[in-house]
Amino acid sequence: MDTDRYFDPIVISRLSNLQLRARHVVEGLMSGVHRSRSRGFSVDFEEHRAYAPGDELRHIDWKAYGKFDRYLVKQYEDETNLRAHIVVDASASMDFGDGPLSKWEYAATLSSSMAHLLLGQSDSVGLVISYEVEDVQVPSKSIRKHLLTLLAGLQAAKPAGGTGIARSLLALAERLKRRGLVLVVSDLLDEPEAVAEALKLLCLKGNDVIVFHVLDSVELDFPFEGLARMDDVETDRNITVECEVVKRPYLGLLTEFLEQTRERCADLGVDYHLVSTAEPLDRGLIRFLAWRSRSRV
Amino acid sequence: MSFQFFHAALLWGMGLVFLPILIHLLRRRLVRRYRLPTFEFLLRTQRRITNRSRLRNWILLFLRVCAVGIIIFLASRPLLETEGGVSGVGWFPVHTVAVIDNSASMAFETGKGSRFEVAKRAVRRMIEDMSEADRMSIATTVGEPAAASLKEFQRKEALAALERVRQTDGKGAPARIVQHALENASPKAGRRNVVVFSDFARGDWESFQIRNLRQWNPHVHLQFVRVAPESGVEDLSLQNVKMKPWPPKAGFSFTIGARVFNRGEEKKSKVPVQLYVGEELRETIEVDLEPNGASPVSFRVNAPEKGVLYGRIELPKDNLSATNRFYFAAGIGKRLRALVIDGDPKRGLQDSETFFVVNALTAAPLGGESPVLTRVVASYELNNVQWDEYDYVIACNLGRWPENGKQRLRDFVEKGGGLFWATGELSSEKAAGLGWLPATTGGPVTLRPSKSLKIAQGEEAHRAFSFLGVNGGRFFSALRLARLTPLEPARGGRALLELPDGTPVLVTGSVGSGQVMVWGSTCDRDWTDLAVRPVFVPFMRGISEFLGGTQKGVSSSADAGDVFEIRAPTRRVGEAIQIRGPAQEERATQFTEKKPGPETMPTDGLRLGKKGSAAAVAYYRDAYLAGIYRVLTPDEKHIVAVNAPASESRISPVEMSFFKDKLEKLDVRDLPANESDPLRSILRLIDLGALLFLMLGGIFVAEAFLADRT
């Protein structure tokens, strides 16, 4: 079975609805994979959900079965053992893309897919949409319909303004009371030191941090030729350059930046993934699942 | 220091240097816009490289502008003029062709020697300034035809070659020499110069045709050096010298007319004009001459009876002596002497044959002289005749002979004398007993009706008919012959005139060295009306020339530089002859066999000797000085007057604009007579082609290096 089509950004770009995109990606990823659910223990009833093969029979609400003639499983608020926060960068620099998906679209699709996965495993997922000054926050919940809230938040967001990812991470670090998982999806075009400080604080608080560094293939390859006027997407600045002249030093600086970021993340124990918008989306998810599996060992 | 351009028009293409700038500006207008989130990196990159890159871009733009400029410059073939001699350096030798004008006008005195000497001094300095690698060739405008290639000399040889160059009184052929120098300057040399030293007198240079320079080589620098132009043109000259009649007739006078021209700004009074005949001063005439004015002079001279006549007209010595003398020489013509023997002297004068014959031979134009002297004797007077005094004999109706008369006549003919034997009632071969004549005669025959004559077939061009012009036979068809002594050609004789039925009337043949003609009728009106017909005079003159030979005078004059062609019989092939020049120097030349085919005589030349008999020729090519030349041969002597060509008296220089119009690249400099360092006025021209090629190569390498760095 050809599963690549599920993750091809070109195919995904044709799906207008973010929910559809997330389901498309996750179903593609999970097709042929045995589903296994982690066991949770509950304190407060939250809601019912449909029984799914793999659920323990003892969790079936037999009373509800008698009432609705359907197998329903009780879910409790403290069912999950993971509290995840997805921080998505919505600066103007994310609204850029040479391929079928812009960085923002790619980041949103990636985030919603991970939320889909996490919620599907009864993990609690919250969302922070990072702007330059003030963030948009969606509190974390583990109920499945919370996905719609998350997706609605992502769909409502419009990339604009400068980058405030460092500030958003710092704010999140101060806000989090419990340890959890922080998924950062950003191009990290902020002050590297500030970003590193914020990540450090998150790590010091015992959070697991995964960074998806999203960059467009144009940014990575600099395919321009001839004389070109380059406009900054976040400011009014522009510059005229001889592309052949600046290409090599530009790529050098970029590589230096990426290496520096990677090293800093490695030093902090942050799982760092550089993702190009030209790459299939499953790669990011696979990396995420790989981390999940490692963290459960 | 300045530039010359061979294709100056191409310099208009220099506007193309703006092409790289234009492309640069157009490219700026075609800038595309992009958005880039990682702008900050670009900004940092640009900050780092901007200064270096901008400098490199400016350098690249500059190099491209230079490259375009150099290409245009190169295409226009730039030549750099620098002053300072002709020497090159070891790796860049110079071949200089010094063309020295040694025509007559260059003898003009400047106060520091003649212009020719000033030019020689300048060339000598050029030679002394040569480096070891340099080469010098020396050519002259008058002299032997240029060799196939100019001989290249090193310093020592060049000085020796320069010493051999002599002033002449000839006319220069500058176009030919300049063309030859331009075409044959050594292609191996790094630089090639052709420097022409001349006064640029009109007489030599006015006919200079640019089309003669077929191959204009831009790598050869042509420079004209005007020698001592400040010395002016003040000069007295003899012009339009005319002699009449010329050649003079033996024993008669002739006139020499000329114009004395004062080419100066001052009036000249009592200028003596002297006539020399031989070496003897015969007459002096004094003339007054206005500035730039002329005055005619005229002399009358009596020609001798025989031999040669030579002399000169002479003006006082001045700046240009070549135009002060005019030499003349001529061989004096000899008049033919004819002995007319009257065989029937008893008859009246006007009925006598000799009356008609003598009048025909001595006929002359009004005021003119007959070329024939005649003497009439009766047959009985023949014993008193000195046969050697006569060139030919005309015997009319001769029947009686004194003792030994026949033998003396035969001896006379066999030694080369001529004989015209006219028959008549008294004469016949048998009666005369002249068995050696080329025809036998019969008894007289009366023709009824009378008949006309015609020229025998194939004899129309015979010398006896040479005075009758074209179609001379028509004169004989009109006359009537009533009585005839029949002739039968014998002993090699052949008929020249005959009756319509072919009966010979005039027969000719050789006897020993002499020529004999036998006429089958009389020379009076008894037998024919020939004597009263218009044809009789030219007919008798033709017979006279045939029997006695031509004895006209010969004019022997030539221009300095002309070639003498001396002709002689074949037996003289290999024999040497001497020619004595005006400075009494003797030079030898040798007779060679004349090859059949077209004439080998140069256009400018003088032919000496009999053309008809010539099968051996000798050439004398060294008559470059004006004066009297004597050609000394064992059996004859020629004397030749050689003068500077009349055009050499036209010494005012041509305007340099005349040349500049024709030779755009021409470099003209003046060489004053008192110039202490004449080399300063000599330019050298450096071809910048190789240098520009190197620069272009360097630019391409630098451009490639810088472009690659980007």
- Averaged confidence pLDDT in chain B: 81
The pLDDT value given to residue A97? 85
Clarify whether residues A62 and A114 are in a common domain.
Answer: no
Higher model confidence: residue B211 or residue B449?
A: B449
pLDDT tens digits, residue range A50-107? Answer: 888 877 788 888 888 898 888 888 876 554 467 889 999 999 999 888 878 889 988 9
Clarify whether residues A100 and A222 are in a common domain.
Answer: yes
Q: Token digits for B602? A: 């140069």
Contacts of A21 (CB under 8 A, 6+ apart): A12, A15, A109, A112, A113
Phi and psi, residue B665, nearest 5° = -90, 5
Is residue A99 a part of any domain in this protein? Answer: yes
Inspect the interface and report whether the beta carbons of B49 and A94 lie closer than 8 Å.
Answer: no
**How far apart are alpha carbons A162 and A159 in whole angstroms?**
9
Is residue A34 a part of any domain in this protein? Answer: no
Phi-psi region of B62 (alpha: psi -120 to 50; beta: other; left: phi over 0): alpha
The pLDDT value given to residue A292? 66
Q: Is B52 on the interface with A (CB under 8 A)?
A: no
Tell me, what's the ipTM? 0.76
- Between the ranges A82-91, A275-284, B380-389, where is the mean pLDDT highest? A82-91
The answer on pLDDT for B129 being more than 70 is yes
Give the residue from B220, B229, B43 showing the smallest Cα distance to B137.
Answer: B220
Is residue A96 a part of any domain in this protein? Answer: yes
The answer on pLDDT for A35 being more than 80 is no
Is residue A28 a part of any domain in this protein? Answer: no
List the single best residue of B23, B30, B32, B38 to mutate versus A (max A Cβ within 10 A): B38
- Which amino acid does the sequence have at B465? F
CA dist list (Å): B283 to B218, B269, B311, B557: 58, 18, 12, 22
pLDDT class of B88 with cuts at 50, 70, 90: very low
Domain range enclosing A170? 83-296
Clarify whether residues A64 and A192 are in a common domain.
Answer: no
**How far apart are alpha carbons A28 and A282 in whole angstroms?**
9
Q: Is B58 on the interface with A (CB under 8 A)?
A: no
Inspect the interface and report whether the beta carbons of B38 and A224 lie closer than 8 Å.
Answer: no
Inspect the interface and report whether the beta carbons of A230 and B35 lie closer than 8 Å.
Answer: yes
**How far apart are alpha carbons A109 and A94 in whole angstroms?**
13
DSSP A271-295: EEEEEETTS-THHHHHHHHHHHHHH
Inspect the interface and report whether the beta carbons of A232 and B41 lie closer than 8 Å.
Answer: no
Is residue A184 a part of any domain in this protein? Answer: yes
pLDDT class of A199 with cuts at 50, 70, 90: very high
Cβ contacts (< 8 Å) between B33 and chain A: which residues? 228-231
Provide mean pLDDT across the span B178-188: 74
Question: Degrees (nearest 5) of the Cα angle B114, B117, B123?
Answer: 145
Clarify whether residues A176 and A250 are in a common domain.
Answer: yes
Clarify whether residues A185 and A263 are in a common domain.
Answer: yes
Higher model confidence: residue B276 or residue A116?
A: B276
The pLDDT value given to residue B440? 83
**How far apart are alpha carbons B541 and B113 in whole angstroms?**
59
Higher model confidence: residue B293 or residue A40?
A: B293
Q: What are the residues facing B274 on neighbouring strands?
A: B284, B314
pLDDT tens digits, residue range A144-187? Answer: 788 888 888 888 898 988 888 999 999 999 888 888 889 999 99
- CA torsion sign, A47 to A51 to A54 to A60? positive
Q: Is B32 on the interface with A (CB under 8 A)?
A: yes
* A245: nearest CB among B30, B37, B53: B53
Clarify whether residues A71 and A187 are in a common domain.
Answer: no
**How far apart are alpha carbons A137 and A88 in whole angstroms?**
10
Q: Token digits for B76? A: 């226009």
The answer on pLDDT for A42 being more than 50 is no
Inspect the interface and report whether the beta carbons of A245 and B28 lie closer than 8 Å.
Answer: no
Residue in A with minimal Cα distance to B37:
A93
Clarify whether residues A112 and A194 are in a common domain.
Answer: yes
Q: Token digits for B530? A: 């020939």
The residue from A55, A76, A97 where one domain ends is A76
The pLDDT value given to residue A3? 41
- Between the ranges B218-232, B290-304, B546-560, where is the mean pLDDT highest? B290-304
Q: What's the gap in Å between the CA of B32 and the closest CA on chain A?
A: 5
- Which amino acid does the sequence have at B604? D
Clarify whether residues A104 and A70 are in a common domain.
Answer: no
The answer on pLDDT for B467 being more than 50 is yes
The pLDDT value given to residue B425? 76
pLDDT class of A127 with cuts at 50, 70, 90: very high
Phi and psi, residue B689, nearest 5° = -55, -50
Inspect the interface and report whether the beta carbons of B34 and A241 lie closer than 8 Å.
Answer: no
The answer on pLDDT for A132 being more than 80 is yes
* DSSP element (H, E) containing A71: none
* Domain tally, chain A: 2
Clarify whether residues A93 and A192 are in a common domain.
Answer: yes
The pLDDT value given to residue A134? 87
pLDDT class of B149 with cuts at 50, 70, 90: low
Q: Are B162 and B116 in contact (CB under 8 A)?
A: no
Q: What's the gap in Å between the CA of B69 and the closest CA on chain A?
A: 26
**How far apart are alpha carbons B612 and B617 in whole angstroms?**
12
The answer on pLDDT for B237 being more than 50 is yes
Domains belonging to chain B, first-starting first, are 2-80+698-709 (no CATH), 86-232+653-681 (3.40.50.410), 235-326 (2.60.40.10), 336-548 (3.40.50.880), 556-646 (2.60.40)
Q: Is A258 on the interface with B (CB under 8 A)?
A: no
* DSSP element (H, E) containing B626: none
Q: Is A226 on the interface with B (CB under 8 A)?
A: yes
The pLDDT value given to residue A2? 44
- Between the ranges A17-26, B265-274, B606-615, where is the mean pLDDT highest? B265-274
Is residue A163 a part of any domain in this protein? Answer: yes
The answer on pLDDT for B673 being more than 70 is yes
Q: What's the gap in Å between the CA of A230 and the closest CA on chain B?
A: 5
Q: Which of B299-303, B523-527, B585-589 has the lowest mean pLDDT?
A: B523-527
Higher model confidence: residue B417 or residue B3?
A: B417
Is residue A209 a part of any domain in this protein? Answer: yes
List the single best residue of A102, A186, A230 to mutate versus B (max B Cβ within 10 A): A230
- Averaged confidence pLDDT in chain A: 80
The distance of Cα A239 from the centroid of its chain, to the nearest Å, equals 33
Contacts of B196 (CB under 8 A, 6+ apart): B99, B101, B174, B178, B222, B223, B224, B225
**How far apart are alpha carbons A268 and B642 in whole angstroms?**
121
Higher model confidence: residue A239 or residue B351?
A: A239
Is residue A112 a part of any domain in this protein? Answer: yes
Clarify whether residues A116 and A191 are in a common domain.
Answer: yes
pLDDT class of A213 with cuts at 50, 70, 90: very high
pLDDT class of B597 with cuts at 50, 70, 90: low
pLDDT class of A198 with cuts at 50, 70, 90: very high
Clarify whether residues A49 and A178 are in a common domain.
Answer: no
Provide mean pLDDT across the span B321-345: 83
The CATH number of residue A241's host domain is: 3.40.50.410
